[in-house]
């Protein structure tokens, strides 16, 4: 058995207590999640709707599931009844669908706006200008079943701490910009989700409020 509990505690000890840890359990068996759950952890991240559905059905109901993968609009209805946060909103279309499905099940779903700041094409999310447009358009203000809680991003996968730091700072500055413009009076717009296994200590120095850590807790994923 992989030492999930020990790893989890080590990660927690290295994080400031105000930072939310999302344990990224994608591709790992439910036993690993149970191990972390037994150690008191409740917040887990998954990236595929089918896998999340199965784990949600089999595991304790007080787990808070964060969806962190690319989300197709036709899959929103399946996770809307139970997901705690959707971290990967990258279009107004997706936001509309979340609003619609959340309304159907009479919930308010927390979401993050996913930003593409890294130069890698493989990374998803909106450019800063696309995100500015989404907010300036204002349609989101009419949506009462979503709550925009902040921003999310992934840094470039490079061996260059300074570059990673710059990308995190770009995200934090962007957060401040939109906070001042649209959410100054909204205390719930408070989250900056960045930092993964390879860069979460840098993220923590760059004002991250939420880190998403898989490999360091659960070991390498078997795809």
Q: Which residues bind ligand PLP (CB under 6 A)?
A: 24, 26, 47, 68, 154, 196-198, 212-216
- Whether residue 199 contacts residue 164, with contact meaning beta carbons closer than 8 Å, is answered with yes
Nearer to ligand PLP, 27 or 78 (CB): 27
Q: Which residues pair with 193 in a beta bridge?
A: 152, 210
Nearer Cβ to ligand PLP (146/211): 211
The residue whose Cβ lies closest to ligand PLP is: 214
Token pair 């359990």: residue = 25
CA distance 5 to 8: 5
| Residues 49 and 101: beta-carbon distance below 8 Å | no
> Shortest gap between Cβ of 4 and ligand PLP (angstroms)?
13
Shorter beta-carbon distance to ligand PLP: residue 143 or 167:
167
Smallest separation (angstroms) from ligand PLP to the CB of 164: 13
Closest approach of Cβ 31 to ligand PLP, in Å? 18
Rounded alpha-carbon distances, angstroms, from residue 163 to 175, 176, 202, 205 = 19, 20, 11, 14
Measured from the CB atom, is 40 or 220 closer to ligand PLP? 220
């Amino acid at each position: 058995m992989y030492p999930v509990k020990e790893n989890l505690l080590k990660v927690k000890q290295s994080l400031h207590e105000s930072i939310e840890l999302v344990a990224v359990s994608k591709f790992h068996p439910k036993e690993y999640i149970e191990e972390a759950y037994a150690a008191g952890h409740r917040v887990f991240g998954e990236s595929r709707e089918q896998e999340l559905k199965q784990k949600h059905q089999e595991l304790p109901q007080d787990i808070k599931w964060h969806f962190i993968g690319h989300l197709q609009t036709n899959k929103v209805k399946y996770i809307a009844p139970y997901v705690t946060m959707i971290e990967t909103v990258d279009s107004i279309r997706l936001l509309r669908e979340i609003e619609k499905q959340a309304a159907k099940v009479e919930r308010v779903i927390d979401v993050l706006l996913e930003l593409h700041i890294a130069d890698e094409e493989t990374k998803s999310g909106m450019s800063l200008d696309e995100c500015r447009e989404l907010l300036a358009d204002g349609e989101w203000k009419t949506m009462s079943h979503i709550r925009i809680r902040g921003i999310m991003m992934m840094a470039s996968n490079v061996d260059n701490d300074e570059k990673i730091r710059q990308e995190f700072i770009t995200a934090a500055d962007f957060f401040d910009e939109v906070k001042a413009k649209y959410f100054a009076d909204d205390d719930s717009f408070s989250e900056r989700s960045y930092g993964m296994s390879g860069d979460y200590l840098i993220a923590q120095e760059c004002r991250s409020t939420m880190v998403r850590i898989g490999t360091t807790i659960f070991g390498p994923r078997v795809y």
